[in-house]
């Protein structure tokens, strides 16, 4: 059996591992450096151990839950709702907007200098429900959240018909 995608093993001299291993162990231009540097990257982020990861998740939840509540208040209860229970919040929260044009909403945030996904429930229909997904990681600051919440107060939502 020969692989469809060849790499350096195709012309290598056959040793004790045999031709099959030479040709199938490293296919094409697959670069393993991302996998090999993962332990160092996790250590750099302070996520080297499961207890480090749990500690950071807890810290993120302590920021995200009040931020989600402030976001919902800024958008108004008639326009927005939380999508998941508090116990399921980890590093991101999603808020549903009831009357939303995803294109207008995305441009509004982009013009304000905010990168936040605006995800339509049904991409083929305009003026319907969409979602804002707020991610929180080490590079975010509380002032980033405060700015987002302030900008959400002026979000142009479509009036319900």
Tens digit of each residue's pLDDT (9 = 90 or more) over 44-56: 888 889 999 899 9
If pLDDT is split at 50, 70 and 90, which confidence band does 21 have? confident
The SS3 of residue 73 is helix
Same domain, 108 and 134: yes
Mean pLDDT computed over 108-136: 85
Please, are residues 157 and 79 in contact by the beta-carbon 8 Å criterion? yes
Does 160 map to a domain?
no
Domain that residue 67 falls in = 50-152
* Position 160 pLDDT exceeds 60: no
In contact, 79 and 97? CB cutoff 8 Å = yes
Task: Assess contact for 134 and 94: CB atoms under 8 A.
Answer: yes
Instruction: Please state the rounded mean pLDDT for residues 27-51.
Output: 86
**Residue 32, CA distances (Å) to 15, 27, 69 in order:** 23, 11, 42
**8 Å CB contact between 106 and 151:** no
Q: Give mean pLDDT, residues 111-125.
A: 85
Mean residue pLDDT across the chain = 85
Residue at 161 is within a domain:
no
Helix (H, G, I), strand (E, B) or coil at 115: coil
Check whether residue 132 and residue 85 sit in a common domain: yes
| Token pair of 145 as six digits | 């959240």
Q: What is the rounded average pLDDT of the residues 82-87? A: 88
CATH number of the CATH domain containing 112: 3.90.1150.10
Q: Closest Cα partner for 157 from 74, 43, 40, 45?
A: 74
Q: Tell me the mean pLDDT in the region 88-112.
A: 89
Kindly report which listed range (21-30, 45-54, 130-139, 147-156) carries the lowest average pLDDT score: 21-30
* Owner of token pair 């991302």: 34
Q: Looking at the 3D structure of the chain, how many domains does it have?
A: 2
């Amino acid at each position: 059996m020969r692989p469809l995608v060849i790499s350096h093993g195709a012309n290598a001299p056959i040793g004790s591992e045999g031709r099959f291993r030479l040709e199938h162990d490293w296919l094409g231009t697959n670069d393993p450096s991302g996998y090999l540097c993962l332990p160092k990257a996790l250590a750099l982020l302070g996520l080297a151990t499961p207890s480090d990861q749990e500690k950071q998740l807890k810290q993120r939840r302590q920021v995200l839950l009040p931020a989600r509540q402030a976001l919902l208040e800024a958008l108004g209860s008639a326009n927005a709702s939380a999508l998941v229970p508090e116990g399921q919040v980890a590093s991101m929260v999603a808020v549903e907007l009831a009357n939303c044009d995803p294109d207008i909403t995305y441009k509004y945030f982009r013009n304000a200098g905010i990168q936040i996904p605006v995800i339509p429930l049904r991409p083929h229909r305009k003026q319907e429900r969409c979602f804002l997904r707020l991610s929180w990681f080490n590079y975010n600051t509380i002032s980033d959240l405060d700015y987002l919440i302030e900008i959400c107060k002026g979000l142009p939502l479509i009036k319900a018909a």
